[in-house]
Amino acid sequence: MEVFNAHTEDFQKGVVIPVNKPLDWTSFDVVKKIRYTLKYHRGIEKIKIGHAGTLDPKATGLLLVCTGKATKHISEFQDMEKTYIANIKLGATTPSFDTETNENEQYPVDHITKSALDDVLGNFTGTINQIPPEYSALKYKGKRAYTLAREGKHPKLKSREIYIENIKLTEFRKPFFSIYVTCRKGTYLRSLARDIGKELNSGAYLVGLIRTQIGSYKLSDAYDQKIIENILIK
C-alpha cells in the first residue's frame, strides 16, 4: 500500500488517495468519480474503491479514498483521531444542524460572552453522549435517516457515546465563532454545534466544516478533485 502520487500505477495493489473534498459533493461522489476515471481512462474495469470516513456534503477537507487491497485498511483509518475546524453561528437553528436547510428558529445571543462560551466548551471534552442528526447517513428501520428527514419524518436516533480529545476556541465574533476539534470516530460536529447552543441557552448550527487531519494524513498533502482527475487521465 502506498500513498497516491503522480507516478502511481498499481491501483489494484492498493493506494491511499488523500482528497480535498469539494463543497456540496458527497463522499461517495468522490469515490464514484475516481472509479469512473480509472475505468474509462486507465482501463481498469473492476476495482474495489472506498472512503475512510464520511464527510457531509456541506463539509470540505481531507477524505481518504482507498483502492484495491488498501480498502482492507479502511476500518483502521476510521479508528484514527481526526481534527476539524468548525465554524458555527449562534442564535438560530436549522433542521439539519447545518446550512443544508434553512433557519427554523431564532434565539437570543446578547447574554453570550467569550468567557461563557469558553466555559461551555469545556463540558464537551472527554467521553460524552451525543444524539446524531436526523439528516445523517445512519440507518433507521432499514432506511437512511436523511431520506426520512427529507420526507418530513423524524427518525428517533439513539444517543451514543463519543470521545472528544480537545476543543479550542479560535475565533469569536458574535454571532459567529470557530473551534478546532480533535475527536474520534462517530462524532457529529453538527450535533456538537447544536448542543453547544443549547448549553448556552440559545441555538447554534454549523455554517462551515473543514477536516484537516486523519491520523498522520494532513489536508496540506491532499489533492483537489480536478488535479486527481488530470493525473489519472494521463
- Supply the residues annotated as catalytic: 56
Is domain 82-214 in CATH 3.40.50.620, yes or no?
no
Distance of CA 95 to the CA centre of its chain: 17
Intervals of the chain under pLDDT 50 = 1, 6-7
pTM for this prediction: 0.91
DSSP conformation letters of 162-174: EEEEEEEEEEEET
215-224 residues labelled b (16+ CB within 10 A) or e (exposed) = eebebeebbe
pLDDT, residue 149, reads 83
Give which of 100, 101, 86, 84 is closest to 197, Cα–Cα: 86
177-to-42, 195, 225 alpha-carbon distances in Å: 45, 14, 29
Strand-pairing partners, residue 130, are 160
pLDDT, residue 6, reads 45
User: Grid coordinates in use for 159?
Assistant: 444517543
What residue ranges of the chain are covered by domains with CATH 3.30.2350.10? 2-79+216-233, 82-214
Nearest-angstrom CA–CA distance, 95 and 133: 9
pLDDT, residue 227, reads 78
Classify domain 2-79+216-233 by CATH number: 3.30.2350.10
Cβ distance 83 to 212 under 8 Å?
Answer: yes
